[in-house]
């Protein structure tokens, strides 16, 4: 019963939502919206579980792990300050303490992490573009040509842009489409396995 | 006496001034009176049809251009569309279409908008009447056309998705056939995947080093198929880690994902006969924000010195930030995602990558269960079929025959 009931619900919901996709009536759209509303409701209630998990794990680290204590205290204090500062809806207006902390601390910190990507691309490319095999050499050459597009080299740039456009719109796009088609088939096969109850690892296993 | 003589003179002068002014006014107004306001001809052949493949709240109004379109002073700039629920009732303007467009979709499924009755709303099965006019750039409107009616009806099947439906039906049949074949004991050959074969080795390496394993499910949601594929791999990995008695850390970015991941790992530990090793704190919720999540996971990699990192699920810009940090810590890394834009980063920064569909195949490979291998075989056949269809399409379109293209085209709006 513990497994068969969820599997029954999954089968029923899967079949209904499959046919819903092909039926454009009001009733069908209502079912779709209703299911989406349920997802939102579940997400909101699950957030309480998430916050509880965060507090519990961080408190545990603060108490028992000296190496993690500092970070754990910073996490808890930061969370406490943000909760207090954003408690009232009025505090979400521009210029409030909550919004100032959000705009002038959190967003710059996030932007900093994102900007690390530029350096990581360079270091990953350095490792990836080693001409060890024929294919790796081809990759290196292609990457070199594509990167040259951004550098003004007069007449060479003009010629290069046609080559780059061809690389991006023919071999690159063809490979991308092949991956996307494979992904689509894989998604459908996984969905069928889930609907039929063959794949049940997401329920915790067999 | 002199004053009496002045009276006729004043009257005469006033009369003269009046006549002169009246004449001047007449001269000024003369062009307006004489300039003929020529109304353009109305549009022709107005038809109203039900909007196909919808929920019954829309009608399509089509017409042929006004004969005056593109002609001289009464050139037509556009067409006004009027609707009424009675043939002789009050007609309300619903919209205007510029010349060159001879179709208008009218209607709405929202009966109330912002607390007020939506005048564009259309009831299923009701008759609606339309009249059209042509409009010139000077905003001169033609006479109305004769009223034409239409009835919006709901469709029970989206005909534009028919080819899509048939393709799905065939694919599902193929999957079911191979599941049945697998059930009956037929041996199915599946090509080996390097990334899958490396999973056991990677877990073994972590065991030898005595360090934890990190499993990242990505920044999707619990309902994304890629995330669900990630759970299935997590379950197999967790079972191995339970057998080898090494912790698996699964920091997640969504509370629902956390609950599912916890349940998956708990059951894997129970299956392995080591429920005592399961620790819920190893599968914490970290944050829903993308880059703070990166900071938290990177921090775990560096502080816990994880020996093996798995990235399986839906990834966005964080893919390289995670994988490159993992590479600098010296961990063996296996990744898998269905996002083509993130695959190059994973290929460059991790040791093994499951490309696209391989992510979905991983669960079947790891379990080795015939029932799960059946759909994999169906996928391979479906791909072969797609290649054949595309090659035929390429040849027929090159020749100039569009029947093959038309056969597979869909109208899913």
- Residues B279, B173 share a domain: no
Residues of chain A numbered 137-166 and touching chain B (CB < 8 Å): none
All residues at 6 or more sequence positions from A42 whose CB lies less than 8 Å from its CB, including other chains: B256
ipTM summary value: 0.89
pLDDT at A132: 82
> Which residue among A47, A128, A204 places its CB closest to the CB of B348?
A128
Q: Is the dihedral of CA A114, A116, A119, A120 positive or negative?
A: negative
Q: Which domain holds residue B105?
A: 44-150
Beta-carbon count within 10 A of B170 CB: 12
- Residues B236, B345 share a domain: yes
Say if B18 falls within a structural domain. Answer: no
In angstroms, the CA A181 to CA B379 distance is 10
Contact (CB<8Å) A199/B232: yes
DSSP code per residue over B71-126: -STT---EEEEEEESSTTS--EEEEEEETT--EEEEE-S-SEETTEE-TT---TT-
Span A104-143, pLDDT tens digits: 999 999 999 999 999 998 888 888 888 788 888 888 899 8
Question: Which token pair is B384?
Answer: 């072969």
Span A144-191, pLDDT tens digits: 898 888 888 888 888 888 999 999 999 999 999 999 999 999 999 889
| Residue A128 touches chain B, beta carbons under 8 Å | yes
- Residues B257, B112 share a domain: no
Q: Given a cut of 90, is residue B148 above it in pLDDT?
A: yes
Span B84-109, pLDDT tens digits: 999 999 999 999 999 999 999 999 99
Task: Answer with the residue of higher pLDDT: A141 or B12.
Answer: A141
- Residues B138, B49 share a domain: yes
For residue B55, give the CATH number of its domain.
2.60.40.10
| Residue A179 touches chain B, beta carbons under 8 Å | yes
Chain B residues in contact with A29 (beta carbon < 8 A) = 55
Say if B279 falls within a structural domain. Answer: yes
Q: Give the bridge partners for B50, in sequence order.
A: B59
Span A21-54, pLDDT tens digits: 999 999 999 999 999 999 899 988 999 999 999 9
pLDDT at B13: 60
E strand or H helix at B372, and its extent?
helix B370-399
For residue B250, give the CATH number of its domain.
3.40.50.1220
- Residues B357, B225 share a domain: yes
- Residues B163, B145 share a domain: no
Residue owning tokens 């339309």: B130
Chain B residues in contact with A121 (beta carbon < 8 A) = 320, 345
Contact (CB<8Å) B255/A128: no
> Which residue among B124, B285, B375 places its CB closest to the CB of A53?
B285
- Residues B394, B314 share a domain: no
Of A103-107, B13-17, B384-388, the least confident: B13-17
* Confidence band, pLDDT 50/70/90 cuts, at residue A94: confident
> Which residue among A57, A110, A206 places its CB closest to the CB of B291?
A110
pLDDT at B26: 47
* Confidence band, pLDDT 50/70/90 cuts, at residue B316: very high
Contact (CB<8Å) B338/A194: no
In angstroms, the CA B152 to CA B184 distance is 51
Say if B20 falls within a structural domain. Answer: no
**Rounded to a whole number, what is the distance in Å from the CA of A181 to chain B's nearest CA?**
8
All residues at 6 or more sequence positions from B407 whose CB lies less than 8 Å from its CB, including other chains: B163
pTM of the entire structure?
0.82
Question: Which token pair is B7?
Answer: 């009276």
Say if B37 falls within a structural domain. Answer: no
Chain B residues in contact with A28 (beta carbon < 8 A) = 55
- Residues B268, B248 share a domain: yes
Say if B8 falls within a structural domain. Answer: no
pLDDT at A177: 92
Helix (H, G, I), strand (E, B) or coil at A132: coil
Say if B12 falls within a structural domain. Answer: no
pLDDT at B34: 47
pLDDT at B32: 46
Instruction: Calculate the alpha carbon distances from B136 to B32, B76, B83, B240, B319 in Å.
Output: 18, 4, 21, 77, 57
Highest mean pLDDT among A87-101, B229-243, B366-380: B229-243
Q: Given a cut of 80, is residue B322 above it in pLDDT?
A: yes
- Residues B87, B225 share a domain: no
Say if B32 falls within a structural domain. Answer: no
Q: Which residue of B has its CA nearest to A79?
A: B287
- Residues B169, B125 share a domain: no
Contact (CB<8Å) A186/B382: no
Contact (CB<8Å) B235/A43: no
pLDDT at B33: 47
Which one of A143, A186, A196 would you mutate to disrupt binding with B, by most B Cβ within 10 Å of its Cβ?
A186
Q: Is the dihedral of CA B242, B243, B245, B250 positive or negative?
A: negative
- Residues B142, B80 share a domain: yes
pLDDT at B1: 45
Say if B93 falls within a structural domain. Answer: yes
Does residue B359 contact residue B229 with C-beta atoms inside 8 Å?
yes
- Residues B61, B166 share a domain: no
Report the domain count for chain B: 3
Does residue B295 contact residue A112 with C-beta atoms inside 8 Å?
no
């Amino acid at each position: 019963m513990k497994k068969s009931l969820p599997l029954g619900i999954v089968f029923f919901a899967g079949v209904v939502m499959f046919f819903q996709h092909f039926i454009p009536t009001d009733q069908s759209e209502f079912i779709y919206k209703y299911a989406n509303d349920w997802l939102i409701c579940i997400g909101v209630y699950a957030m309480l579980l998430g916050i509880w998990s965060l507090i519990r794990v961080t408190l545990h680290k603060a108490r028992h792990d000296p190496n993690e204590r500092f970070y754990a205290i910073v996490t808890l204090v930061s969370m406490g300050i943000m909760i207090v500062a954003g408690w009232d809806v009025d505090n979400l207006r521009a210029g409030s303490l909550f919004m100032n902390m959000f705009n002038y601390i959190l967003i710059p910190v996030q932007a900093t992490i994102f900007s690390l990507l530029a350096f990581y691309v360079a270091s990953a490319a350095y490792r990836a573009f080693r001409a060890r095999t024929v294919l790796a050499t081809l990759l290196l050459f292609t990457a070199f040509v594509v990167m040259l597009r951004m550098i003004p080299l007069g007449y060479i740039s003009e010629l290069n842009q046609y080559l780059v456009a061809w690389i991006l719109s023919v071999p690159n796009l063809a490979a991308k489409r092949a991956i996307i088609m494979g992904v689509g088939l894989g998604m459908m096969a996984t969905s069928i396995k889930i609907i039929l109850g063959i794949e049940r690892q997401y329920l915790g296993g067999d | 006496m002199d004053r009496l003589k002045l009276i006729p003179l004043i009257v005469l002068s006033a009369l003269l001034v009046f006549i002169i002014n009246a004449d001047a006014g007449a001269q000024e107004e003369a062009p307006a009176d004489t300039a003929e306001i020529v109304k353009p001809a109305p549009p022709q052949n107005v038809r109203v049809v039900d909007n196909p493949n919808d929920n019954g709240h829309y009608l399509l109004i089509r017409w042929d251009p006004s004969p005056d379109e593109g002609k001289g002073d009464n050139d037509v700039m556009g067409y006004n569309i009027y609707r009424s629920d009675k043939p002789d009732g009050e007609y309300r303007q619903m919209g205007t279409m510029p010349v060159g467009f001879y179709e208008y979709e009218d209607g709405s499924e929202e009966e109330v908008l912002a607390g007020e009755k939506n005048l564009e709303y259309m009831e299923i099965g009701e008759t609606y009447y339309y009249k059209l006019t042509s409009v010139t750039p000077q905003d001169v409107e033609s006479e109305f056309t004769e009223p034409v009616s239409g009835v919006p009806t709901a469709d029970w099947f989206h005909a534009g998705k028919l080819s899509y439906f048939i393709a799905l039906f065939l694919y599902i049949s193929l999957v079911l056939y191979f599941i049945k074949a697998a059930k009956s004991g037929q041996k199915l050959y599946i090509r080996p995947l390097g990334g899958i074969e490396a999973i056991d080795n990677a877990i073994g390496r972590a065991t030898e080093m005595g360090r934890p394993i990190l499993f990242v499910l990505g920044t999707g949601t619990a309902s994304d198929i890629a995330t669900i594929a990630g759970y299935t791999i997590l379950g197999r990995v967790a079972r191995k880690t339970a057998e080898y008695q090494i912790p698996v850390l699964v920091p997640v970015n969504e509370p629902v994902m956390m609950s599912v991941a916890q349940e998956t790992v708990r059951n894997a530990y129970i299956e392995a006969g080591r429920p005592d090793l399961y620790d819920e704190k190893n599968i914490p919720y970290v944050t829903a924000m993308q880059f703070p999540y990166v900071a938290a996971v990177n921090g775990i990699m560096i502080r816990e010195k994880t020996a093996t990192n798995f990235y399986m699920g839906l990834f966005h810009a964080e893919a390289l930030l995670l994988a490159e940090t993992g590479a600098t810590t010296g961990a063996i890394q296996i990744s898998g995602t269905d996002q083509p834009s993130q695959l190059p980063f994973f290929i460059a920064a991790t040791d093994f990558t499951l490309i696209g569909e391989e992510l979905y195949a991983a669960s079947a490979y790891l379990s080795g269960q015939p029932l799960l291998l059946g759909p994999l075989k169906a996928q391979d056949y479906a791909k072969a079929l797609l290649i054949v269809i595309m090659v035929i399409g390429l040849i027929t379109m090159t020749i100039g025959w569009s029947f093959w293209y038309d056969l597979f085209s869909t109208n899913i709006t």
